[in-house]
Amino acid sequence: MRLLVRVDAGAWIGFGHLMRCIALVEAAEAAQMSVQVVMRPDPDGLHVAQANSLPIHTLPPKLPITEEAPHVAALARTLGADCVTVDVFSPQHDALFPENYLKCLAAVGGVPVLAIDDMCSRPLQCAAVLNGNLFAHDLPYARNAPGARLLLGPRYLLQRRAITDLAAEAARHTPQPGHIVVTFGGSDTARLTLPTLRALRSAGIETPLTVVAGPGMHECEAVAALVARYDGWRLLRNVKDMGRLLLSADLVLCNGGSTIYEAALLRRPMAIVPQTAVERQNAAHMARAGAATVIAPVAAPPTPEGVDEVIQLLHSPQRREAMASAGGTVVDGKGAQRAVEEIMQLAAGK
């Protein structure tokens, strides 16, 4: 059985779409599916995809998005794909894609299409929709994706093996005391790393701290210069084993993207600084689950009250342990396998 995955990554869209598609590819290949990945030729996105050994087809650099669906459909026919998965939509970029993108892809390609989605912010004319976020059941899929098979909630969350393989170890792992891991995804689209670090330092926080710089991070050199001024602080670029780094954290300070689900699975308490409306929803639901606290409004650095909350968490092992335990109930790390089982049923016409 053959699967074609259409995904993008880069500073303009972030790297979360690609990370979850890597998880999907891993699970599909484990199920003996043949997988090909189609991407636009963004250098940073392609670098990450190649580093994860994805089998990539790049779209022509000047191919207009309005002409993309027939091109991808033709590729699906050429490759003999039994199903196409699409993960390119985001509320900030939906207007770039024609409303009939998925319908055209299915009609011309002659195969079922599964859309990986976050906010149900556009019509989704496809056979199935996957949204692994905590708030997915609250979205109007009955209206925007009528007749589609709905794979909603953390039961279908796509997580890479590099994270899920550590889940059993997480419950018995002892973190580095006081260690904060700061990460704002692959590109830090809202440029929050630098002001967040300044806010922490201004409040007198001197605990050991690791800053993660993703491949598309803005202001990386300014962040490096700030971190170099303080003992116990370090900057890591293009981290290869994010799971191990998260396990070392006594507190994860992050945006509200895929990292919060990784930290939840690995039972790490979180202070969340959301960058987008999607992340605000994720953060609010994770806080309601008891696994995190939200310390900033959308696309802004931590408030003074938020920084105080970080200080209080650092001084309360009981609260951190309660958050860690709550996170372990949010996600089980088996979403990618469930998604592949559904894809195989779609391809078989079931």
What per-residue confidence (pLDDT) applies to 117?
97
Give the Å distances, CA to CA, from 91 to 18, 80, 96, 279, 323.
16, 31, 10, 12, 30
Once rounded to an integer, what is the mean pLDDT over residues 197-211? 96
Confidence band for 139, pLDDT divided at 50, 70 and 90? very high
Once rounded to an integer, what is the mean pLDDT over residues 183-199? 95
* pLDDT tens-digit series, residues 5-60: 999 999 889 999 999 999 999 999 999 999 999 999 999 999 999 999 999 999 99
33 vs 16: CA distance, rounded Å: 23
Percent of the chain with pLDDT over 70: 100
Task: Give me the CATH code for the 2-159+333-347 domain, please.
Answer: 3.40.50.11190
Q: Reply yes or no on whether the pLDDT at 92 is more than 90.
A: no
Q: Which fold has domain 164-327?
A: Rossmann fold (3.40.50)
CB-side neighbour CA atoms (13 Å) of 52? 25
Q: Reply yes or no on whether the pLDDT at 157 is more than 80.
A: yes
What per-residue confidence (pLDDT) applies to 93?
78
Instruction: State phi, psi for 48 to the nearest 5 degrees.
Output: -65, -40
Q: How many beta carbons lie within 10 A of that of residue 315, not counting itself?
A: 10
Once rounded to an integer, what is the mean pLDDT over residues 289-310? 97
What per-residue confidence (pLDDT) applies to 31?
98
Do the domains 2-159+333-347 and 164-327 sit in the same CATH topology, yes or no? Answer: yes
What per-residue confidence (pLDDT) applies to 109?
87
> Cβ-count burial of 319 within 10 angstroms (0-12 exposed, 13-18 middle, 19+ buried)?
middle
DSSP state of 175: P
Q: Reply yes or no on whether the pLDDT at 191 is more than 90.
A: yes
What per-residue confidence (pLDDT) applies to 27?
98
Confidence band for 101, pLDDT divided at 50, 70 and 90? very high
341 vs 24: CA distance, rounded Å: 11
What per-residue confidence (pLDDT) applies to 350?
75
DSSP state of 62: T
Per DSSP, the three-state class of 213 is strand
Residues 6+ apart with CB under 8 A from 104: 69, 70, 73, 98
What per-residue confidence (pLDDT) applies to 96?
86
Sign of the C-alpha dihedral computed for residues 86, 88, 91 and 97 taken in this order: negative
Domain borders along the chain are 2-159+333-347, 164-327
